[in-house]
Structure 1
Amino acid sequence: MSSNTSIEWCDHTFNPWTGCTKVSPGCDHCYAEGWAKRSGQVQWGPQAARRRTSSANWNLPRRWNAQAEAFRAQHGRRQRVFCASLADVFDNAVEREWRDDLATLILNTPGLDWLLLTKRIGNAGAMLGEMFLNGPPDNLWLGATICNPDEADRDITKLLRVPARVRFLSMEPLLAHIDLRLKCPNWSDDIVMDPETGAYECCRACDYTGIGNDIDWVIVGGESGPGARPMHPDWARSLRNQCEAAGVPFLFKQWGDWRAPQPGEEFDTSLGMAQRVPAFIVAHDGSVHCFHNDQASAGSTPMLRVGKKSAGRELDGRTHDEFPS
């Protein structure tokens, strides 16, 4: 029953096929593309064929499912399987027959919770309808990757249109401040957010307070790897506060390669990449500077590039490992 992944929010990863195409700013430094280039197992991009994985790999979920009762007795919960960490289930370049085979596998492993995370949430409704004629099963969780406000405005409503027992957001890499407010029919634009809690005071007619009625889980993380972009701490804090106010489970996955300086830690942003530990000023809009200026004054913070392991995953002195029930 050992895990085959180091990803904090799942027990296993399963790739029915590999290969993908960049469709989002979050894809700019895709770790899966890097893996593909290093391994030589699959080409990447719009003209490249997707590669189905082996029969032995396809048998792994059945093995995990056979251990479902023992796992639940030991851990008090079900196993979570992240499906397609090196691909996208709802990729147009994937053959429908492969998705049908995946649907059969999901139906035949009811002891597992299948987490389908996509950057193509607009395809999910139609493709899931083809995969599951009676609707998605209860062991399917559907997630959308959201990196910036444009994606939030465009894709969260698409996610909410698709039936799923659990809907979640993976906000990694988080590239900007994001307001997860989903407007109710009686919303008033003059309502403001409480800066202390991240909560909105909605109209008294409906008591709607934000995402809690629609989104079941939020995962947040900074970027790691070559070219990693720093995440402003206030972006993560705001999402934590919004989730807390709305009663939504919040998981802080990682800072990524960058973190704020620790008390008493020496750094010099004017040297930028020249010093042993690179240091920069990150403005609230995400722009990066070597020194304070008009653009990088209000709300800016120094960030040091120390690597994913050293940066850790504590937010304001604690880990956040909340999951939907």
Structure 2
Amino acid sequence: MKKEFKNPEMSDGGENWNVVTGCDKYSDGCQNCYAEDLVEWLKGMGQQVYKDNGFNLTIHYDRLYTPINKMAKKPKKPVKSFVTDMGDLFHKKVPDDFIFKVFETMLKVPQHRFYVLTKRAERLGELGPLLPWKPWIWAGVTVEADKYIDRIDHLKKLPSDVNKFLMLEPLLSPMPKLDLKGIDWVVVGGETNSKMKFREIKEEWVVDIREQVKKAGLPFMFKHWPGKTHNIKEAFLEGMIWDEYPETLTQNIDWDLYKKTVQ
């Protein structure tokens, strides 16, 4: 089965929407941050923002309308776009009003799908219930180790009809007791770093998570093993590729809904 997942490491300036770039260390998963690791390469590729600001947090007001202006109006299938995969939209230095503006833009492009992913789950739990979530805007938290499992509780503070996902990447520990009630999708991945600074994971951790996810009746994706890059080897888990998506991420576009939204 062919993967459609667009890995964030290869997406700056592409389909993903880096309306905020740069960040700082927040928890264990940030130790060998792939985004920070990419900055020198992006400088060499002519990305001016990284030449000017490196990996310091930068808010891009000039990119607020990129999905409206540059993404296809009538695509054959939805673009799957991470929102700020080179930063964190819920960083404490990003003003509330800017976050609301980002959501105002996403409201106008229901023909595409947006992943809003954060490690800063506490702020998501506080501000998230006030934001205008729609079926094409997915909310997710990164949970890289069992000691951060409470981030899932903050995600669940969002309204019950919000599409929610877990990104267990880079997976750094087993997670034997995942509470998946109210969760719609689970993604697991290993740590990647071009300088070969990555921590290994055990296959039994991933297998156990998969079993919990399938028992809950949810789609499961295993993106990649740890390594220099995400595609260094096929992501086989017990001899199989797991790349399941929720149907709402791949289904045909509801053009009646689209027309009502853009009017």
Indicate whether the TM-score tops 0.5.
Answer: yes
SS in structure 1 opposite 2:236?
coil
Give the % identical residues: 26
Alignment match, 1:243? 213
Which residue identity lines up with residue 188 of structure 2 in the other structure? V
User: Cα–Cα, structure 1 residues 85 and 49, in superposed 2: closer, same or farther, change >3 Å?
Assistant: closer
> Displacement, 1:49?
4.5
Which residue identity lines up with residue 52 of structure 1 in the other structure? H
What is the total number of aligned residue pairs between the two structures?
Answer: 230
- Greater alpha carbon shift after TM alignment, 310-319 vs 139-148: 310-319
Q: Does 1:146 align with 2:154?
A: no
* Structure 1 outlier segments of 4+, above 4 Å: 3-8
User: Cα–Cα, structure 1 residues 308 and 117, in superposed 2: closer, same or farther, change >3 Å?
Assistant: closer
Alignment match, 1:266? none
Which residue identity lines up with residue 53 of structure 2 in the other structure? V
Is the CA contact (8 Å cut-off) linking 1:167 and 1:216 kept in structure 2? Answer: yes
> Displacement, 1:158?
1.0
Which residue identity lines up with residue 63 of structure 1 in the other structure? K
Alignment match, 1:232? 202
Alignment match, 2:251? none
Question: 1:27 and 1:104 mapped to 2: Cα distance?
Answer: 29
Question: 1:43 and 1:6 mapped to 2: Cα distance?
Answer: 21
Alignment match, 2:37? 34
Is the CA contact (8 Å cut-off) linking 2:141 and 2:166 kept in structure 1? Answer: yes
Q: Does 1:158 align with 2:157?
A: no
Question: 1:307 and 1:27 mapped to 2: Cα distance?
Answer: 16
Residues 43-54 of structure 1 aligned to structure 2 (within 5 Å): 43-44=54-55, 48-52=56-60, 54=62
Which residue identity lines up with residue 216 of structure 1 in the other structure? D
Alignment match, 1:221? 189
Larger radius of gyration: 1
> Displacement, 1:173?
0.5
TM-score between both structures, scaled by the size of structure 2: 0.78
Partner residue of 2:231 out of 309, 313, 325: 309
SS in structure 1 opposite 2:222?
strand
Question: 1:65 and 1:102 mapped to 2: Cα distance?
Answer: 18
Q: Does 1:109 align with 2:79?
A: no
Alignment match, 1:86? 86
Is the CA contact (8 Å cut-off) linking 1:121 and 1:144 kept in structure 2? Answer: yes
> Displacement, 1:324?
1.4
User: Cα–Cα, structure 1 residues 181 and 128, in superposed 2: closer, same or farther, change >3 Å?
Assistant: closer
> Displacement, 1:83?
0.8
Alignment match, 2:256? none
1:198-237 CA distance string (max 9 Å, x none): xxxxxxxxxxxxx2x3211110011111311011111111
The structure showing larger relative contact order (alpha-carbon pairs under 8 Å, at least 6 residues apart) is: 2
User: Cα–Cα, structure 1 residues 36 and 244, in superposed 2: closer, same or farther, change >3 Å?
Assistant: same
1:283-312 CA distance string (max 9 Å, x none): xxxxxxxxxxxxxxxxxxxxxxx8643432
> Displacement, 1:150?
0.7
Question: 2:185 and 2:89 mapped to 1: Cα distance?
Answer: 20
SS in structure 2 opposite 1:243?
helix
> Displacement, 1:62?
4.0
> Displacement, 1:126?
3.0
> Displacement, 1:41?
4.1
Residues 253-264 of structure 1 aligned to structure 2 (within 5 Å): 253-257=223-227
TM-score between both structures, scaled by the size of structure 1: 0.64
Aligned CA-pair RMSD: 2.6
Partner residue of 2:24 out of 7, 21, 25: 21
User: Cα–Cα, structure 1 residues 17 and 307, in superposed 2: closer, same or farther, change >3 Å?
Assistant: closer
Alignment match, 2:257? none
Question: 1:49 and 1:136 mapped to 2: Cα distance?
Answer: 25
1:132-171 CA distance string (max 9 Å, x none): 3xx422221100001111111x211111111252111001
